[in-house]
Amino acid sequence: DGGITQSPKYLFRKEGQNVTLSCEQNLNHDAMYWYRQDPGQGLRLIYYSQIVNDFQKGDIAEGYSVSREKKESFPLTVTSAQKNPTAFYLCASNPGGTSGRGDNEQFFGPGTRLTVL
């Protein structure tokens, strides 16, 4: 089955800890994205990557970090510098990347719900 997986589904973090959220896709997509969703809100872009070994800050990058060492993987680390990390985190991908091919329809993973204790 092709798709995007995120793990874990639920994550609990103590204040002051860094945590890493996993995102893997086997769709052979170039572009990958991380969004944050707060209750009753839309999605806000944290980071995105159009190609391996390259990524850009989104609208709310402070307190987060990412890496893109492999095409299939785009992990997100929520650092202790993120003051209000409790939220639902969504990873997405699309085929386009820097080639610009196709439309930028996004394929989403099932999400990770992070709670700070």
Partner 1 sequence: SQQGEEDPQALSIQEGENATMNCSYKTSINNLQWYRQNSGRGLVHLILIRSNEREKHSGRLRVTLDTSKKSSSLLITASRAADTASYFCATAPSGGYQKVTFGTGTKLQVIP
Binding status of residue 115 toward partner 1 by CB under 8 A = no
Instruction: Report the distance separating Cα 85 and Cα 83, nearest Å.
Output: 6
Q: How far apart are CA 72 and CA 91, in angstroms?
A: 12
**Residue 99 Cβ vs partner 1, minimum distance, rounded to whole Å:** 10
Chain residues 10-39 in contact with partner 1, contact rule CB under 8 A: 31, 35
The dihedral of CA 77, 4, 94, 52: what is its sign?
A: positive
CA distances in angstroms from 37 to 20, 100, 105, listed in the order given: 17, 27, 19
Handedness of CA 38, 105, 55, 26 (dihedral sign): positive
Contact segment (CB under 8 A) with partner 1 among 15-23, 66-74, 76-84, 85-93 equals 85-93
Q: Which of residues 44-83 bind partner 1 (CB under 8 A)?
A: 44-45, 48, 50, 58-59
Distance CA 44, CA 105 (A): 16
Q: State the minimum distance, in angstroms, from the CB of residue 98 to partner 1.
A: 8
Q: Which is nearer to partner 1, 82 or 94 (CB)?
A: 94
Q: Are strands 87-94 and 107-108 parallel, antiparallel or unpaired?
A: antiparallel
Q: Binding residue for partner 1 (CB under 8 A) from 96, 114, 115, 117?
A: 96
Which residues here bind partner 1, judged by CB under 8 A?
4, 31, 35, 41-45, 48, 50, 58-59, 88, 90, 92, 94, 96-97, 100, 103-111, 113
